[in-house]
Chain A
Amino acid sequence: GDSVTQMEGPVTLSEEAFLTINCTYTATGYPSLFWYVQYPGEGLQLLLKATKADDKGSNKGFEATYRKETTSFHLEKGSVQVSDSAVYFCALNAGNKLVFGAGTILRVKS
């Protein structure tokens, strides 16, 4: 079945450091790919998405590119802030429902 694997956390970075959170997927069709974020005490919210191969999703300085050849959708940000501390979930939708990875905790220190 469809599945998502993302790097284990927690990831701890200093402010202004470069961030990469790896995400790979397995799907039988051509899924849409998503990154959701969960800030402390808040619900899940969409960060960015890409719906076809080579699409790049971006939002709030975060980017991810849909790589069909490597079945990946890695999340990157050039300079993280303390306010980016949260749990990040990679997800795919290949047939009406979202399939999530286990989540990666990001901690950014000032």
Chain B
Amino acid sequence: GAGVSQSPRYKVAKRGQDVALRCDPISGHVSLFWYQQALGQGPEFLTYFQNEAQLDKSGLPSDRFFAERPEGSVSTLKIQRTQQEDSAVYLCASSLSLAAYNEQFFGPGTRLTVL
């Protein structure tokens, strides 16, 4: 069956460029999460959605980061005016609901390199 997919898998951007990262969750999963994983570290929470509603964006590092999920399915994470410190793997995950005991299913990630 189809899992969580993300595109592109790799993205190289020049400092100052805008980028958009896409996530396709598992069909029927209500909740969608974005995490940022720096090299050699564990993933860190950025934001999550329940359907189209963004319920928590406390992990977004600056106002250059913006996420949306307009129809409650596909989500896009946008980073404006990229900086070198934005270089990381961006992970998307989905789950059936927001219950803490639910497994989050992760996509393969998008590796962003900002030059």
Residues of A within 8 A of B (CB): 4, 31-32, 34, 36, 42-46, 49, 51, 89, 91, 93-103
Contact = CB atoms under 8 A, between A and B. Distances in A.
A21 B39 CA distance: 20
A31 B42 CA distance: 18
Interface stretch (B18-26, B66-74, B95-103): B95-103
A43 B105 CA distance: 9
Given A31-B100, A44-B106, A49-B101, A97 B91 contact: no
Contacts of B107: 43
B44 A96 contact: no
B48 interface: yes
Contacts of A98: 33, 35, 43, 45, 93, 104
Contacts of B98: 96
A97 B48 CA distance: 8
Contacts of B100: 31-32, 51, 93-96
B43 to A, nearest CB: 5
Interface in B11-51: 31, 33, 35, 40-45, 48
Contact of A99 (B31, B45, B93, B105): B45
Contacts of B33: 97-98
Contacts, number: 59
Interface of B: 31, 33, 35, 40-45, 48, 55-56, 59, 91, 93, 98, 100-101, 103-109
Contacts of A101: 42
Contacts of A93: 100-101
Contacts of B93: 44, 98
A32 B99 CA distance: 10
Given A43-B106, A99-B45, A103-B41, A51 B101 contact: yes
Contacts of B31: 96
A45 B91 CA distance: 12
In the complex, the 10 A-B pairs of residues with the closest C-beta atoms, listed nearest first: A100-B42, A44-B106, A93-B100, A51-B101, A97-B45, A43-B108, A32-B101, A32-B100, A96-B98, A46-B103
Nearest to B41: A102
